[in-house]
Structure 1
Amino acid sequence: MRALPVSARSPAPVLAALLALATLLALPAHSETRMTADEFEAYATGKTLTYGENGRVYGVEQYLPNRRVRWAFVDDTCRLGHWYDNGGDEICFVYEHDATPQCWTFHKGPGGLRARFTNIPDSTELSEVQQTDEPLACTGPDVGV
Protein backbone atom coordinates (compact mmCIF):
# COMPACT_ATOMS: atom_id res chain seq x y z
CA MET A 1 0.00 0.00 0.00
CA ARG A 2 1.36 3.37 -0.97
CA ALA A 3 1.64 6.09 1.67
CA LEU A 4 -0.42 9.21 1.15
CA PRO A 5 1.26 12.58 0.78
CA VAL A 6 1.43 14.53 4.04
CA SER A 7 -1.30 16.90 2.80
CA ALA A 8 -3.73 14.03 2.00
CA ARG A 9 -3.58 12.22 5.32
CA SER A 10 -6.29 12.52 7.91
CA PRO A 11 -5.67 15.47 10.24
CA ALA A 12 -6.44 13.37 13.35
CA PRO A 13 -2.96 11.77 13.66
CA VAL A 14 -1.29 15.12 13.02
CA LEU A 15 -3.44 16.83 15.65
CA ALA A 16 -2.67 14.07 18.15
CA ALA A 17 1.02 14.40 17.34
CA LEU A 18 0.89 18.16 17.82
CA LEU A 19 -0.76 17.67 21.22
CA ALA A 20 2.07 15.32 22.12
CA LEU A 21 4.51 17.98 20.93
CA ALA A 22 2.95 20.58 23.20
CA THR A 23 3.29 18.18 26.14
CA LEU A 24 6.89 17.48 25.20
CA LEU A 25 7.73 21.18 25.05
CA ALA A 26 6.60 21.52 28.65
CA LEU A 27 9.12 18.93 29.86
CA PRO A 28 12.40 20.13 31.37
CA ALA A 29 15.39 20.01 28.98
CA HIS A 30 17.49 17.89 31.38
CA SER A 31 15.25 14.89 30.66
CA GLU A 32 16.85 14.60 27.20
CA THR A 33 20.06 12.84 26.28
CA ARG A 34 22.19 13.91 23.33
CA MET A 35 22.47 11.06 20.84
CA THR A 36 25.68 9.77 19.32
CA ALA A 37 25.76 8.98 15.59
CA ASP A 38 25.48 5.26 16.37
CA GLU A 39 22.46 5.83 18.63
CA PHE A 40 20.84 8.06 16.02
CA GLU A 41 21.44 5.48 13.29
CA ALA A 42 19.97 2.67 15.42
CA TYR A 43 16.91 4.79 16.28
CA ALA A 44 16.14 6.26 12.86
CA THR A 45 17.14 3.71 10.21
CA GLY A 46 14.09 2.13 8.60
CA LYS A 47 11.73 4.82 9.89
CA THR A 48 10.03 7.84 8.43
CA LEU A 49 9.85 10.65 10.98
CA THR A 50 7.65 13.72 10.83
CA TYR A 51 9.10 16.80 12.50
CA GLY A 52 7.26 19.83 13.84
CA GLU A 53 8.24 23.34 14.87
CA ASN A 54 6.17 25.71 17.01
CA GLY A 55 3.07 23.52 16.74
CA ARG A 56 3.23 23.12 12.94
CA VAL A 57 4.44 20.23 10.81
CA TYR A 58 7.81 21.23 9.33
CA GLY A 59 8.78 18.26 7.16
CA VAL A 60 9.27 14.51 6.88
CA GLU A 61 12.44 12.45 6.54
CA GLN A 62 12.83 8.79 5.66
CA TYR A 63 16.00 7.18 7.02
CA LEU A 64 17.31 4.59 4.59
CA PRO A 65 20.14 2.04 5.00
CA ASN A 66 23.76 3.20 4.73
CA ARG A 67 22.95 6.62 6.21
CA ARG A 68 20.96 7.73 3.18
CA VAL A 69 17.87 9.91 3.57
CA ARG A 70 14.88 11.21 1.67
CA TRP A 71 13.59 14.59 2.93
CA ALA A 72 10.58 16.74 2.04
CA PHE A 73 9.14 19.89 3.49
CA VAL A 74 5.34 19.65 3.72
CA ASP A 75 3.86 19.53 0.20
CA ASP A 76 7.29 19.83 -1.43
CA THR A 77 9.50 17.69 -3.68
CA CYS A 78 11.53 14.93 -2.05
CA ARG A 79 15.28 15.44 -1.85
CA LEU A 80 17.76 12.59 -1.61
CA GLY A 81 20.83 12.89 0.56
CA HIS A 82 22.98 11.31 3.21
CA TRP A 83 24.09 12.03 6.75
CA TYR A 84 27.40 11.70 8.56
CA ASP A 85 28.96 12.18 11.97
CA ASN A 86 31.08 15.33 11.78
CA GLY A 87 33.47 14.01 14.44
CA GLY A 88 32.00 16.25 17.12
CA ASP A 89 28.54 16.49 18.63
CA GLU A 90 26.73 17.06 15.36
CA ILE A 91 25.11 14.95 12.69
CA CYS A 92 25.29 16.64 9.29
CA PHE A 93 23.07 16.14 6.26
CA VAL A 94 23.97 16.86 2.64
CA TYR A 95 21.31 16.76 -0.07
CA GLU A 96 21.66 16.36 -3.82
CA HIS A 97 20.27 19.86 -4.50
CA ASP A 98 22.64 21.63 -2.07
CA ALA A 99 26.13 20.51 -1.04
CA THR A 100 26.12 22.75 2.06
CA PRO A 101 26.11 20.54 5.18
CA GLN A 102 23.06 21.04 7.41
CA CYS A 103 24.26 20.13 10.92
CA TRP A 104 22.07 19.20 13.88
CA THR A 105 22.31 17.81 17.37
CA PHE A 106 19.72 15.16 18.23
CA HIS A 107 18.33 14.55 21.70
CA LYS A 108 16.14 11.68 22.75
CA GLY A 109 13.46 12.42 25.27
CA PRO A 110 10.30 10.71 26.47
CA GLY A 111 8.30 12.01 23.49
CA GLY A 112 10.83 11.17 20.78
CA LEU A 113 13.59 13.12 19.08
CA ARG A 114 14.36 16.79 19.29
CA ALA A 115 16.72 18.22 16.73
CA ARG A 116 18.59 21.50 17.07
CA PHE A 117 20.00 23.17 13.96
CA THR A 118 23.56 24.23 14.70
CA ASN A 119 24.56 26.11 11.52
CA ILE A 120 22.98 29.28 12.91
CA PRO A 121 23.02 29.91 16.69
CA ASP A 122 19.59 30.17 18.35
CA SER A 123 17.76 28.91 15.27
CA THR A 124 15.45 26.06 14.37
CA GLU A 125 14.52 23.36 16.88
CA LEU A 126 12.36 20.53 15.62
CA SER A 127 10.52 17.79 17.50
CA GLU A 128 9.43 14.37 16.30
CA VAL A 129 5.64 14.40 16.08
CA GLN A 130 4.99 11.17 14.19
CA GLN A 131 6.86 7.97 13.33
CA THR A 132 6.09 5.25 10.80
CA ASP A 133 7.84 2.47 8.93
CA GLU A 134 6.01 3.44 5.72
CA PRO A 135 8.09 5.09 2.98
CA LEU A 136 7.91 8.82 2.42
CA ALA A 137 5.34 9.66 -0.27
CA CYS A 138 7.15 11.83 -2.78
CA THR A 139 5.37 14.38 -4.97
CA GLY A 140 8.07 14.38 -7.66
CA PRO A 141 10.53 14.00 -9.51
CA ASP A 142 12.02 11.02 -7.61
CA VAL A 143 8.71 9.18 -7.14
CA GLY A 144 9.38 5.50 -6.58
CA VAL A 145 13.10 5.94 -5.95
Structure 2
Amino acid sequence: MKVILLILWAMMPLPATAQSTMSAAEFDAYTQGKTLFYGTRSAPYGAEVYLPNRRVRWSFLDGKCKEGEWYEDAGLICFVYEDNPEPQCWSFEEGNGGLIAQFENDPEAIALYEVEDRGEEMLCLGPEIGV
Protein backbone atom coordinates (compact mmCIF):
# COMPACT_ATOMS: atom_id res chain seq x y z
CA MET A 1 0.00 0.00 0.00
CA LYS A 2 2.84 2.42 0.82
CA VAL A 3 4.40 1.85 -2.61
CA ILE A 4 1.11 2.73 -4.28
CA LEU A 5 0.84 5.89 -2.16
CA LEU A 6 4.41 6.89 -3.07
CA ILE A 7 3.59 6.50 -6.77
CA LEU A 8 0.43 8.57 -6.36
CA TRP A 9 2.37 11.31 -4.57
CA ALA A 10 4.96 11.41 -7.35
CA MET A 11 2.22 11.82 -9.94
CA MET A 12 0.28 14.39 -7.93
CA PRO A 13 0.03 17.78 -9.67
CA LEU A 14 1.35 20.85 -7.94
CA PRO A 15 -1.42 22.61 -6.07
CA ALA A 16 -3.10 25.52 -7.75
CA THR A 17 -3.87 28.61 -5.79
CA ALA A 18 -6.07 27.59 -2.91
CA GLN A 19 -9.42 29.11 -2.07
CA SER A 20 -10.18 30.76 1.25
CA THR A 21 -10.02 28.85 4.53
CA MET A 22 -12.91 26.41 4.87
CA SER A 23 -15.54 26.94 7.53
CA ALA A 24 -16.58 24.07 9.81
CA ALA A 25 -19.74 23.54 7.72
CA GLU A 26 -17.73 23.44 4.47
CA PHE A 27 -15.16 21.08 5.99
CA ASP A 28 -17.89 18.77 7.31
CA ALA A 29 -19.71 18.73 3.94
CA TYR A 30 -16.45 17.95 2.11
CA THR A 31 -15.16 15.22 4.43
CA GLN A 32 -18.30 13.50 5.79
CA GLY A 33 -18.23 9.76 5.10
CA LYS A 34 -14.88 9.83 3.29
CA THR A 35 -11.47 8.31 3.90
CA LEU A 36 -8.84 10.85 2.85
CA PHE A 37 -5.14 10.17 2.41
CA TYR A 38 -2.67 13.00 3.08
CA GLY A 39 0.96 13.58 2.30
CA THR A 40 3.69 16.15 1.90
CA ARG A 41 5.18 16.86 -1.50
CA SER A 42 7.69 14.06 -0.95
CA ALA A 43 6.10 11.39 1.23
CA PRO A 44 2.88 9.85 2.51
CA TYR A 45 1.80 11.23 5.87
CA GLY A 46 -1.43 9.54 6.97
CA ALA A 47 -5.10 8.91 6.42
CA GLU A 48 -8.27 9.86 8.21
CA VAL A 49 -11.79 8.47 8.15
CA TYR A 50 -14.47 11.13 8.70
CA LEU A 51 -17.38 9.62 10.62
CA PRO A 52 -20.79 11.06 11.60
CA ASN A 53 -21.04 13.61 14.41
CA ARG A 54 -17.57 15.02 13.74
CA ARG A 55 -15.84 11.83 14.85
CA VAL A 56 -12.63 10.72 13.11
CA ARG A 57 -10.20 7.82 12.96
CA TRP A 58 -6.56 8.69 12.14
CA SER A 59 -3.59 6.55 11.10
CA PHE A 60 0.00 7.32 10.12
CA LEU A 61 -0.41 4.37 7.68
CA ASP A 62 1.23 2.02 10.16
CA GLY A 63 -1.89 0.00 11.02
CA LYS A 64 -2.33 1.83 14.34
CA CYS A 65 -5.47 3.94 14.47
CA LYS A 66 -6.56 6.64 16.88
CA GLU A 67 -10.16 7.61 17.55
CA GLY A 68 -10.92 11.30 17.89
CA GLU A 69 -13.24 14.14 17.13
CA TRP A 70 -13.00 17.57 15.60
CA TYR A 71 -14.53 20.96 16.33
CA GLU A 72 -14.23 24.53 15.08
CA ASP A 73 -12.35 27.07 17.16
CA ALA A 74 -11.74 30.64 15.96
CA GLY A 75 -12.02 29.59 12.31
CA LEU A 76 -9.70 26.58 12.65
CA ILE A 77 -10.56 22.88 12.59
CA CYS A 78 -9.19 21.33 15.79
CA PHE A 79 -8.79 17.62 16.46
CA VAL A 80 -8.44 15.80 19.78
CA TYR A 81 -7.57 12.11 19.92
CA GLU A 82 -7.96 9.40 22.53
CA ASP A 83 -4.22 9.39 23.28
CA ASN A 84 -3.75 13.16 23.21
CA PRO A 85 -6.33 15.62 24.56
CA GLU A 86 -4.21 18.59 23.40
CA PRO A 87 -6.03 20.17 20.41
CA GLN A 88 -4.29 19.86 17.03
CA CYS A 89 -5.62 22.83 15.04
CA TRP A 90 -5.47 23.12 11.25
CA SER A 91 -6.65 25.48 8.55
CA PHE A 92 -8.06 23.75 5.47
CA GLU A 93 -8.38 25.16 1.99
CA GLU A 94 -9.75 23.49 -1.10
CA GLY A 95 -7.34 23.56 -4.02
CA ASN A 96 -7.81 22.10 -7.49
CA GLY A 97 -6.31 18.79 -6.35
CA GLY A 98 -8.20 18.52 -3.05
CA LEU A 99 -7.65 19.72 0.50
CA ILE A 100 -4.57 21.61 1.60
CA ALA A 101 -4.03 21.45 5.37
CA GLN A 102 -1.76 23.76 7.36
CA PHE A 103 -0.94 22.82 10.96
CA GLU A 104 -1.59 26.04 12.86
CA ASN A 105 -0.03 24.87 16.15
CA ASP A 106 3.24 25.22 14.19
CA PRO A 107 2.71 27.52 11.16
CA GLU A 108 6.25 26.67 9.99
CA ALA A 109 5.19 23.04 9.50
CA ILE A 110 5.00 21.78 5.93
CA ALA A 111 1.50 21.78 4.45
CA LEU A 112 -0.25 18.46 3.85
CA TYR A 113 -2.08 17.71 0.63
CA GLU A 114 -5.01 15.39 0.02
CA VAL A 115 -4.01 12.63 -2.36
CA GLU A 116 -7.54 11.51 -3.16
CA ASP A 117 -10.63 9.85 -1.77
CA ARG A 118 -9.96 6.41 -3.16
CA GLY A 119 -12.96 4.78 -1.55
CA GLU A 120 -10.43 2.47 0.11
CA GLU A 121 -10.54 1.24 3.67
CA MET A 122 -7.86 2.49 6.02
CA LEU A 123 -5.96 -0.40 7.62
CA CYS A 124 -6.45 -0.56 11.39
CA LEU A 125 -4.95 -3.58 13.13
CA GLY A 126 -6.54 -4.85 16.33
CA PRO A 127 -5.28 -4.01 19.81
CA GLU A 128 -1.86 -5.32 20.74
CA ILE A 129 -2.21 -8.25 23.08
CA GLY A 130 0.80 -9.65 24.82
CA VAL A 131 1.97 -11.69 27.71
TM-score by length of 2: 0.87
2:11 to 3, 9, 19: 19
Q: Is the 8 A contact 2:22 2:91 kept in 1?
A: yes
Q: 2:55 aligns with which of 47, 65, 68?
A: 68
What are the residue-to-residue correspondences of 1:126-137 with 2, within 5 Å?
A: 126-137=112-123
Partners of 1:46 and 1:133 within 8 A in 2: no
SS at match of 2:116: strand
Q: CA deviation at 1:13?
A: 5.8
| Residue 56 (structure 1) shift | 0.6
What letter matches 1:16 in structure 2?
L
**What displacement does 1:79 show?**
0.2
Q: Conserved in 2, the CA contact under 8 Å of 1:61 and 1:70?
A: yes
Cα offset for 1:133?
3.3
Assess, with a 3 A threshold, how the Cα gap between structure 1 residues 138 and 92 changes in structure 2: closer, same or farther. Answer: same
Greater helix proportion: 1
Is 1:111 matched up with 2:97? Answer: yes
Structure 2 counterpart SS, 1:16: helix
Counterpart secondary structure, 1:46: coil
Number of residues paired by the alignment? Answer: 128
Runs (5+) with no aligned partner, structure 2: none
What is the aligned-residue identity percentage? Answer: 45
Deviation for aligned residue 1:43: 0.4
CA distance in 2 between partners of 1:12 and 1:77 (Å): 19
The answer to whether the Cα contact below 8 Å between 1:34 and 1:105 also exists between their aligned partners in 2 is yes
Q: Residues of 1 paired with 2:48 and 2:56: CA distance?
A: 7
**Superposition CA RMSD, Å:** 1.9
* Runs of 4+ off more than 4 Å: none
Contact 2:9 2:44 in 1 (8 A): no
Q: Which SS does the other structure have where 2:14 is aligned?
A: helix
State how 1:33-112 maps to structure 2 within 5 Å: 33-86=20-73, 88-112=74-98
Residue 136 (structure 1) shift: 2.0
Q: Distance in 2 between matches of 1:62 and 1:120?
A: 23
